[in-house]
Chain A
Amino acid sequence: MDKQLDLLQGTLDMLILKAVSLGPLHGYGVLLRIQQISKDRLEIQQGSLYPALYRLEHQGWIASEWGESENKRKAKYYRLTAAGKRRLQTESEKWNRMADLIAGILDTKPEEI
């Protein structure tokens, strides 16, 4: 598939939580991590990342602190909180259930009805 996929509404939060669950990241790092995991198949509006980060932090699912980047610059790092971990867990389960359900429906063949 050549074209990059647009993000489904509401899935960005889940991806961010997943990205930071693998280790603390700064904002740009989150972007890179998602692109890396998705093998560049997802299009994320760079700017839209930050309101999402702030929202997640506001809700207490991630926490931030200032640290130093790979090239010795000051950067803000986000890490998953305990609440965020639980949140990611439930969101993933919900997503998987939904994905199975939708996939099942789409795979339905005429003779199965």
Chain B
Amino acid sequence: MTFWNSLGSWFNATLRRSRMESEMDEELRFHIEAYAADLVRSGVTPDEARRRARLEFGGVERVKEEGREARGVNLVESLVRDLCYGASNMLRTPGFTAITVLTLALGIGATTAIFSAVNPILFESLPYPQAGRIMTISEFGPEGSRSRVAFHTYRELAERSRSFETLAVTKTWQPTLVTAREPERFDGQFVSAGYFRALGVPPFLGRDFEPSDDRFHGPHVVILSDALWRHRFGGDAAIIGRQITLDDNSYTVIGVMPSTFENVLGPSAELWTPLQYDPGNISDSQTREWGNHLRMAGRLQPGATIDQARRELKTIAGNLVPEFPRPPWASHEQGFIVNSLQDDITLGVKPALLAVLGAVLLVLVIACVNVTNLLLARSVRRRGEFALRTALGAGRSRLIRQLLTESLLLSALGGVAGMVVAQLGVRALVALSPAELPRVGSITVDGPVFAFGVGVTTLIGLLVGLIPALRASRNEPQIALQESSQRTVGGHRRTRNALVVVEVALALVLLVSSGLLLRSLHHLFAVAPGFDASHLLTMQVQTYGRRYDDDATCNRFFAQALEAVRNVPGVSAAAFTSQLPLSGDADIYGVQFENASNTEDVAPAFRYGVAPGYFETMGIPLRRGRLFNAQDALGLPMRPVLINESLAKRRYPGQNPIGQRIRFGGSPNRPWDIIVGVVGDVKQTSLAVSQSDAVYVTTAQWLWADGTQWLVVRTRGDAAALAPAVRQAIWSIDKDQPVVHAATMEGLLAASAAQRRFALTLFETFALVALMLAGAGIYGVLSGSVAERTREIGVRLALGATHESILALVVRQGMTLTGIGVAIGVAGAAVASQAIAAMLFGVSPLDPVTYLGVIVLLAGVSVIACGVPAWRAMRVDPIVALRYE
């Protein structure tokens, strides 16, 4: 009943507004006139009676306003009015509005973008059922790094381990698909039969691989990705059972993976085929089955924990059984590294991502501090306005609602602009992302995070925005109306000063971090890679087709191709190598030294199968002995090898390594290889990693012919420009051979530092934003302070203060704030820089040069920020200032 009454009343009041208004006017007029008439009857003169009636009634407008409110008119109406008022207010102060909205947008947008990128990579679980149970198993590599495993190791674990439901191994496959159009190269994977079961995602069409598919000389079967199936085979369900031609062989399609399948172990793979390695002949360590080149993953048994799995594999590693003999490079002396798949794929990028996340949170805090500061400054300016509105009859709740509306309006604008920033940011992040970044495809603007950012800033806007309303309605309006009241301003000023100190401190933390990263990158690029990277073109040449199964044919093709490339105009030298520095290759074999006391002493070294002329082309210096020549390509009884400098120093201290003998990558009864030369160290993994023991053999004398080799070309002019001509030269020998990954060596150098550069770019952006916001904060506080102290400055000038002393007064105020902020910031940076220590190179987290440079930069910015208000203070005219209030 009451509800309907209220609704009706509200309805009447809202929709029949003008009638209600006129009725209210009439009713109030009646009251005042009736009272006046009574006063006249009691002997007061008519004029006096009207005056007293109106006075005693009180503010008519206020009564009407409260009356409207009592009827609930204001719900919609006052919202519209507040919005209009707020909008016109914002338009009246475009500078304030622009800075606030921009600050909000940067804070919300940057945080959302970074969180959106980091969330799927670090925090969301992988898109597999019970993803937490999927593990990766690796061998211990050099310096505790993870290294791949051999097929026989996988077999041993699959046989002996009980912690895993399924174990699987995989390696990359790059088949050429031949259709009616033209041959096309695809990324794919060789997988053991349990691969998809380990991940927990079966094909949605057809069937999964069975153990019977994955046997030596087994059937040629293939599973396609959804994208390949749709784009190349028209999404035809009848594809199952059809034959397709891959690398001259006919394969039967047995399945299609679902479109939702995300393959984090091979993001670009579009085809899968069984590995079909030979489980027999385990004692022959020269076979590919003993090469540590497979990635192993496994799904834990329900209820099994990662610790159980680690313990079990450690036990197996330490307990050799006769059925599974092991060569030296797969002795598992240190056991195995068991990681969750999630940790495994994010291991390399985690420090950078966490650091970036921390940095963007600092930016958000700075943005919030800045908005608080701006709103506080405005609230001081608006005290007069609110006092006036209170005096004119605006109720406290009315003022609060007005301010809430304005704050929400600002937040909404900031949110919209922030969404734009977030969208652009996410796009920029994906474009900038280094190749190591996993799951880039699943990065999209994160709704909840965006809502969080908008929520936080809105809340701040509301709280800070409310201060003037509360103050205006609590204080006696007449006091606030007199602008000379400085009591309340003092409290505000202290708060604002504190906020500026916080901003400066946080900005310093960000600046120091990005300064350290910048210096790291400089140090990194100052590292000599061990070869001359300029004018060097690189590309990978692959062979496919049955005719290249023959080693002699394969080697002949590469030799002819090299000859053709050397004849290309503009080419000054060229050579092939089995692995290229900084390309991501890690082809490692064990080295046994004749002079070692223990035959079990086998050290890992990078294996380079190179054509004679490789060192000359790369510019790798010869330290001792000789380089390879054309005769070395022939089968000599004792294989000549070259080793690198650091290996020579460590293994032959004070001796001449030339003529010493080693055994490299083969069975223990192979003949010894003879060291004929020592060459300079070369960075293989990245510029930052010093581990670079290397052994070079000629391609022709390696255990097998490498079907995939890197071509390095020294050019006279621009290296990249020569790529088409070089490619044509290779195709002149065989037009069907894929030539891929063409890049300049300088490009590879840059890519090897991509992760650091990525972090640096983000830090630089954030630090710049922080610096600008801190500068704006100092400027805002000082100009507010100068405006408030105009009278004081006038008095000082009138009493004989010089302009210089006024200038000093203001600058001192600003620099004091900066100084306190810097002091706090330095302490903060010393702590925060430990978090990015993993990304630093050649720079201490406490690098004095960086700290000093950043302090000078920050001081410079704050001097500029002080300058304008100080100049304004200096120009205060004492006469005007004293008359001002």
Complex CA distance for A28 and B56, rounded to whole angstroms: 13
Binds A, one of B61-69, B155-163, B275-283, B532-540: B61-69
* A60 touching B58, Cβ below 8 Å: no
Q: Which residues of B contact A28 (CB under 8 A)?
A: 30-31, 34-35
Q: Which residues of A contact B23 (CB under 8 A)?
A: 76
Binds A, one of B5-13, B89-97, B791-799: B5-13
Of B57, B58, B63, B71, the contact of A58 (CB 8 Å cutoff): B71
* B30 touching A54, Cβ below 8 Å: no
* A50 touching B6, Cβ below 8 Å: no
Complex CA distance for A45 and B72, rounded to whole angstroms: 22
Of A58, A60, A73, A83, the contact of B70 (CB 8 Å cutoff): A58
* A83 touching B62, Cβ below 8 Å: no
Complex CA distance for A113 and B58, rounded to whole angstroms: 48
Is the C-beta of A57 less than 8 angstroms from some C-beta in chain B? yes
Q: Which residues of B contact A60 (CB under 8 A)?
A: 1-2, 5-6, 9
Is the C-beta of B879 less than 8 angstroms from some C-beta in chain A? no
* B69 touching A51, Cβ below 8 Å: yes
Q: Taking CB as reference atom, which chain A residue is nearest B72?
A: A58
Is the C-beta of A48 less than 8 angstroms from some C-beta in chain B? yes
Q: In chain B between 39 and 79, which residues have their CB closer than 8 angstroms to a CB of chain A?
A: 56-60, 62-63, 66-67, 69-72
* B71 touching A83, Cβ below 8 Å: no
* B58 touching A47, Cβ below 8 Å: yes
* B67 touching A75, Cβ below 8 Å: no
Complex CA distance for A9 and B30, rounded to whole angstroms: 27
Complex CA distance for A59 and B26, rounded to whole angstroms: 22
Q: Which residues of B contact A54 (CB under 8 A)?
A: 67, 70-71
Tell me how far the C-beta of B570 lies from the nearest C-beta in chain A, rounded to whole angstroms: 91
As a 0/1 sequence over residues 66 to 79 of chain A, the CB contacts with chain B under 8 angstroms (1 = contact) are 00010101111000
* B30 touching A26, Cβ below 8 Å: yes
Is the C-beta of A27 less than 8 angstroms from some C-beta in chain B? yes
* A27 touching B27, Cβ below 8 Å: yes
* B60 touching A47, Cβ below 8 Å: yes
Tell me how far the C-beta of A57 lies from the nearest C-beta in chain B, rounded to whole angstroms: 7
Q: Check A55/B70 contact, CB under 8 A, given A47-B60, A47-B63, A50-B27.
A: yes
Q: In chain B between 812 and 852, which residues have their CB closer than 8 angstroms to a CB of chain A?
A: none
* A69 touching B30, Cβ below 8 Å: yes
Taking residues whose C-beta sits less than 8 angstroms from the other chain, chain A's interface range is 20 to 34
Q: Which residues of B contact A76 (CB under 8 A)?
A: 23, 26-27, 30
Q: Check A48/B30 contact, CB under 8 A, given A58-B9, A83-B2.
A: no
Q: Which residues of A contact B31 (CB under 8 A)?
A: 26-28, 31, 46, 50
Q: Which residues of A contact B413 (CB under 8 A)?
A: none
Q: How many A-B residue pairs have CB under 8 A?
A: 75
* B5 touching A50, Cβ below 8 Å: no
Complex CA distance for A31 and B63, rounded to whole angstroms: 15
* B63 touching A51, Cβ below 8 Å: yes
* A58 touching B6, Cβ below 8 Å: yes
Taking residues whose C-beta sits less than 8 angstroms from the other chain, chain B's interface range is 20 to 34
As a 0/1 sequence over residues 24 to 36 of chain B, the CB contacts with chain A under 8 angstroms (1 = contact) are 1011101100110
Q: Which residues of B contact A52 (CB under 8 A)?
A: 70
* B26 touching A74, Cβ below 8 Å: yes
Q: Which residues of A contact B1 (CB under 8 A)?
A: 60, 83
* B58 touching A46, Cβ below 8 Å: yes
Q: Check A47/B70 contact, CB under 8 A, given A58-B9, A83-B2.
A: no
As a 0/1 sequence over residues 38 to 54 of chain A, the CB contacts with chain B under 8 angstroms (1 = contact) are 00000001111011101
Tell me how far the C-beta of A54 lies from the nearest C-beta in chain B, rounded to whole angstroms: 4
Of A31, A51, A71, A83, the contact of B67 (CB 8 Å cutoff): A51
* B66 touching A51, Cβ below 8 Å: yes
Q: In chain B between 481 and 519, which residues have their CB closer than 8 angstroms to a CB of chain A?
A: none
Question: Which of B5, B34, B56, B63 has most A Cβ within 10 Å?
Answer: B34
Complex CA distance for A108 and B623, rounded to whole angstroms: 110
Q: Check A59/B28 contact, CB under 8 A, given A47-B57, A50-B67, A51-B69.
A: no
Q: Which residues of B contact A31 (CB under 8 A)?
A: 31
Question: Which of A50, A57, A59 has most B Cβ within 10 Å?
Answer: A50
Complex CA distance for A40 and B72, rounded to whole angstroms: 33
Q: Which residues of A contact B28 (CB under 8 A)?
A: 50
Tell me how far the C-beta of A29 lies from the nearest C-beta in chain B, rounded to whole angstroms: 9
Tell me how far the C-beta of B392 lies from the nearest C-beta in chain A, rounded to whole angstroms: 14
Complex CA distance for A51 and B397, rounded to whole angstroms: 15
Q: Which residues of B contact A74 (CB under 8 A)?
A: 26, 30
Q: Taking CB as reference atom, which chain A residue is nearest B60?
A: A47
Q: In chain B between 576 and 626, which residues have their CB closer than 8 angstroms to a CB of chain A?
A: none
Q: Which residues of A contact B59 (CB under 8 A)?
A: 47
Complex CA distance for A52 and B70, rounded to whole angstroms: 8
Q: Taking CB as reference atom, which chain A residue is nearest B66?
A: A51
Tell me how far the C-beta of A25 lies from the nearest C-beta in chain B, rounded to whole angstroms: 12
Q: Taking CB as reference atom, which chain A residue is nearest B55?
A: A46
Complex CA distance for A57 and B57, rounded to whole angstroms: 21
Complex CA distance for A40 and B60, rounded to whole angstroms: 24
Complex CA distance for A54 and B6, rounded to whole angstroms: 11
Complex CA distance for A46 and B9, rounded to whole angstroms: 23
Complex CA distance for A48 and B57, rounded to whole angstroms: 8
Of A50, A69, A75, the contact of B63 (CB 8 Å cutoff): A50
As a 0/1 sequence over residues 351 to 386 of chain B, the CB contacts with chain A under 8 angstroms (1 = contact) are 000000000000000000000000000000000000
Q: Taking CB as reference atom, which chain A residue is nearest B2?
A: A60
Of B26, B57, B69, the contact of A46 (CB 8 Å cutoff): B57
Complex CA distance for A80 and B71, rounded to whole angstroms: 18
* A69 touching B27, Cβ below 8 Å: no
Complex CA distance for A78 and B67, rounded to whole angstroms: 15
Q: Check A59/B63 contact, CB under 8 A, given A26-B30, A83-B1.
A: no
Q: Which residues of B contact A83 (CB under 8 A)?
A: 1-2, 5
Complex CA distance for A76 and B56, rounded to whole angstroms: 21
Tell me how far the C-beta of A4 lies from the nearest C-beta in chain B, rounded to whole angstroms: 13
Tell me how far the C-beta of B349 lies from the nearest C-beta in chain A, rounded to whole angstroms: 62
Tell me how far the C-beta of B517 lies from the nearest C-beta in chain A, rounded to whole angstroms: 63
Q: In chain A between 5 and 49, which residues have their CB closer than 8 angstroms to a CB of chain B?
A: 26-28, 31, 45-48
Complex CA distance for A5 and B27, rounded to whole angstroms: 27
Complex CA distance for A59 and B4, rounded to whole angstroms: 9
Complex CA distance for A46 and B58, rounded to whole angstroms: 7
Complex CA distance for A26 and B27, rounded to whole angstroms: 9
Complex CA distance for A28 and B28, rounded to whole angstroms: 9
Tell me how far the C-beta of B148 lies from the nearest C-beta in chain A, rounded to whole angstroms: 78
Tell me how far the C-beta of A81 lies from the nearest C-beta in chain B, rounded to whole angstroms: 8
* A75 touching B30, Cβ below 8 Å: yes
Tell me how far the C-beta of B636 lies from the nearest C-beta in chain A, rounded to whole angstroms: 107
Complex CA distance for A45 and B31, rounded to whole angstroms: 13
Complex CA distance for A10 and B28, rounded to whole angstroms: 22
Tell me how far the C-beta of B64 lies from the nearest C-beta in chain A, rounded to whole angstroms: 8
Complex CA distance for A76 and B67, rounded to whole angstroms: 15
Complex CA distance for A54 and B71, rounded to whole angstroms: 6
As a 0/1 sequence over residues 696 to 710 of chain B, the CB contacts with chain A under 8 angstroms (1 = contact) are 000000000000000
Q: Check A59/B30 contact, CB under 8 A, given A47-B58, A47-B59, A76-B23.
A: no
Complex CA distance for A33 and B304, rounded to whole angstroms: 85
* B9 touching A57, Cβ below 8 Å: yes
Complex CA distance for A27 and B23, rounded to whole angstroms: 13
Q: Taking CB as reference atom, which chain B residue is nearest A81?
A: B5
Q: Which residues of A contact B69 (CB under 8 A)?
A: 51
* B58 touching A45, Cβ below 8 Å: yes
Tell me how far the C-beta of B271 lies from the nearest C-beta in chain A, rounded to whole angstroms: 73
Contact surface of B with A, Cβ cutoff 8 Å:
1-2, 5-6, 9-10, 23-24, 26-28, 30-31, 34-35, 37, 56-60, 62-63, 66-67, 69-72
Q: Which 3 A-B pairs have the closest CB atoms?
A: A60-B5, A47-B58, A51-B66
Besides A54-B71, A59-B2, A60-B2, 16 other CB < 8 A contacts? A26-B27, A28-B30, A46-B56, A46-B57, A50-B31, A50-B66, A51-B67, A51-B69, A54-B70, A57-B71, A58-B5, A58-B6, A58-B70, A60-B1, A69-B30, A73-B34
16 A-B pairs whose Cβ atoms sit less than 8 Å apart in the complex: A26-B30, A28-B35, A47-B57, A47-B58, A48-B63, A50-B66, A51-B66, A54-B70, A57-B71, A58-B6, A58-B72, A59-B2, A71-B37, A76-B23, A76-B27, A76-B30
